[in-house]
Amino acid sequence: MTRQAQDTPASIDPKKLDRLAEVAVRIGLQLAPGQDLFMTAPVAALPLVRRIAEHAYRAGAGLVTPILSDEQVTLARYRYGADASFDRAAGWLHEGAAKAFAANTARLAVVGDNPMLLAGEDPAKVARANKANSLAYQPALERIVNFDINWNIVAYPGAAWAAQVFPGEPEDVAVGKLAEAIFAASRVDTDDPVGAWTAHNTNLGRRTAWLNGHRFQALHFSGPGTDLTVGLADGHEWQGGASKAKNGIVCNPNIPTEEVFTTPHARRVEGRVRSTKPLSYQGTLIDNIEVRFEAGRIVEASASRGSEVLGKVLDSDEGARRLGEVALVPHSSPISKSGLLFFNTLFDENAACHIALGQCYSKCFVDGASLTPDQIAAQGGNKSLIHIDWMIGSGEIDIDGLTADGGRVPVFRKGEWA
């Protein structure tokens, strides 16, 4: 038995975990020879971090630099930290990350923490800490949202996370079930995951080509509690699956992914929409979100659960009440079919069509790499400290594409591609 196999919990298949690491490097990042890699992960995810480092170095990586977080250290801050500390963040760390990205360092994030870790902490402190961190992270975040570099997010089945997804199960059983769900969604439960991803990217590419060929001015969503017209940004471009970063590397930012997405026009969204799945955000489950847009801005908002946190999110900044993304995902997606609520946006957003409050992606514009921030704003792109996805799709949602001449083209019917 290898040392890496020994460090993996018995309920996690070490071969599939190794495939996930390989896919993260070869498909997610397409790491270039000599390219450095900056990686963040929870301590619990060390078995995956070690495998990713091995595959990265085998691919010719320059330096692999991991930074690990720990749930108990995070809780210690909320329980014993000085009140003033919640208005501060480690700006020096984010500035260093921004410098690394400017030097073409690739970015990889491993998620796997307890999604409800902060559920029992003061919501005001959580909001303050999030805002301070968002402000400090902005220089690095801009390199990500502008797609300057190749980046990727993958998941590891942490025990605390598994307990949320499979409550009541013994820890080893819950971890094993979550691991298999992650492996299936990430397409590493096959003998040729790289081939599976190649085929999947081809299919998503066909969807984006069809949408880009129609040049819709807007999308109209209709269904229970939803009558929403989402204007699309001028010169918008649909993306999905593998995309080319400004450094010339084609990568898959999210593993898993089932979406095709683009940039809405921040000032041309009208109507009402209701969430179809709960949003897990910083330890709070926000359920049954209902909002109304006027001239692109949310003017009414409610939730049956987590409404106070939703209000704080919407007040993050001026752009927080406007949309930065609209994404299409069929109701028959593998993650939807699993019937699981993952309490993690990386997975839950790939179960249903969704919209995102906040920052837009500059890559979702024709020639987006050459546009200035002012040009992106003029074409309808939104700017914000946040980017939060929440689900609005289901088997009851219809979507029409609205054309410049007033025509309507079926895009989705009953949650499926038309």
DSSP string, 330-359: -TTSHHHHHT---SSHHHHGGGS-EEEEE-
**3-state DSSP call for residue 13?**
coil
300 vs 293: CA distance, rounded Å: 7
Whether pLDDT at 146 is above 90: no
| Per-residue pLDDT tens digits for 32-47 | 999 999 999 999 999 9
**3-state DSSP call for residue 249?**
coil
Whether pLDDT at 1 is above 60: no
All domains in the chain, ordered by first residue: 3-185 (3.40.1830.10), 215-250+259-417 (no CATH)
Residue type, 178: L
Whether pLDDT at 4 is above 80: no
Whether pLDDT at 169 is above 90: yes
Would you state the pLDDT for residue 2? 55
**3-state DSSP call for residue 188?**
coil
Would you state the pLDDT for residue 3? 54
Average pLDDT over residues 380-385: 94
Would you state the pLDDT for residue 283? 80
Would you state the pLDDT for residue 369? 81
Average pLDDT over residues 254-273: 97
Top-confidence residue, 212 or 130? 212
Query: pLDDT over 90 for what percent of the chain?
Result: 89
* Mean pLDDT computed over every residue of the chain: 95
Average pLDDT over residues 341-357: 94
Would you state the pLDDT for residue 5? 58
| Per-residue pLDDT tens digits for 77-92 | 999 999 999 999 999 9
Average pLDDT over residues 25-29: 97
Give me the long-range contacts of 145-148 (CB less than 8 A, separation at least 24).
145/359, 145/360, 145/361, 145/362, 145/387, 146/246, 146/361, 146/362, 146/363, 147/243, 147/245, 147/246, 147/361, 147/362, 147/363, 147/368, 147/369, 148/101, 148/102, 148/245, 148/246, 148/247
Whether pLDDT at 6 is above 70: no
Instruction: Say what angle helices 123-145 and 71-80 make with each other, to 10 degrees.
Output: 130
Whether pLDDT at 115 is above 50: yes
